[in-house]
Amino acid sequence: MFFSDQHLCFADILPPPEIDRRSSNSKVSRGLLTDVSWIFLSHSFCTRSLMRANTAKAFIRVWKVMEMCYQVLVQEKRLTQRELFYKLLCGSPDYFTSQLQVNRTIQDVVALLRCSRYSLGIMASSRGAIAGRLLLQEPNQEVVDCSACGSSGYAISGDLNLLEKLVMKTDARYIIVVEKHAIFQRLAEDCVYNQIPSILITAKGYPDIATRFLLHRISRTFPDLPIFGLVDWNPAGLAILCTFKFGSIGMGLEAYRYACNVKWLGVRKHDLELVPEQSFIPLKPRDLQIAKSLASSEILPDNYKEELAVMVESGKRAEIEALYFHGYDFLGRYIAKKIVQANYI
């Protein structure tokens, strides 16, 4: 079925009755940040049967998605998961009624065929942006200087195939992953990458596939550049950092493709003395739920668990913006000092 376009999709076909997904060792409940995202993926398998009576529809969904992917590949087109949902909703309404069903079926197909989603013709939706000392060139396009893209940065394409073909040049010494778009904009507006020779990248919250893919691609191209993460001091911020660092169960067998060795620069417990008392925010039940799930993960490093324990014990959270108490230019100096002092974990 898929061999008609082998340059786009190479697949080892597994027996249809069983699909393996790595998730049993995660000990992380569903829906940490969204209803369809799970944090962490590691080494043991859980097995999902498609031959039981109550999984008949799931079995058919797999073939419906593969059929649609085949049609897309034959036409040399690509589509997003959302576009795929609407096509399946119109063509197979008896089997697809929600985006979640499509997302889970894509995971099944990826696990069954042992290939990536973009090799199936499925593009990622992207919210991410990049700025700083990086030159990018798409095939047959002009070079883009990411330091000249303004405070909003260069919008990251959702076409992973295009991201893989980017020609990149840089004289940066660091990569800084920023959780929030507002902080990213402030750093880009202040041209912090001129003070700290760096590349700034943000997913504007929970990291999408395209942003993670590009970060991994930059890391592969420039393996000597350390990657630092700047996130809020709260369980959700740590979960976002860990998704960049370890991957997510929602990505199934693809997760390893996008994981990067991100170091936690800040905000951390030793930085709390810089935060005014009135800027602390009480933890919400949702924060505690995320913290509990993170703490139960076997792959979370001990020093990360210590930070998490302090968050829970204190019952409060601190956002990056609280550092503006010391002036709008303080954040750049804060980042530079921590990098120079190797104050990261």
Print burial letters for 120-133: b (CB count within 10 Å at least 16), e (below 16): bbbbbebbbbbbbb
The tokens describing 100, both together, are: 């979640």
Q: Which residue type is seen at 46?
A: C
Supply angle C-alpha 20, 216, 13, rounded to 5: 30
Q: Give 161: exposed, middle or buried? Use CB within 10 Å, 0-12, 13-18, 19+.
A: middle
d(CA 343, CA 345) in angstroms, rounded, equals 7
Annotated catalytic residue within 70, 86, 324, 344 = 86
Question: How crowded is residue 49: how many other Cβ atoms within 10 Å of its Cβ?
Answer: 12
CB atoms within 10 A of CB 153: 22
Contact 22, 42 (CB under 8 A): yes
Instruction: Look at the alpha carbons of 204, 108, 298, 32 in this order and tell me if their dihedral is positive or negative.
Output: positive
Active site annotation includes 86? yes
Active site residues: 86
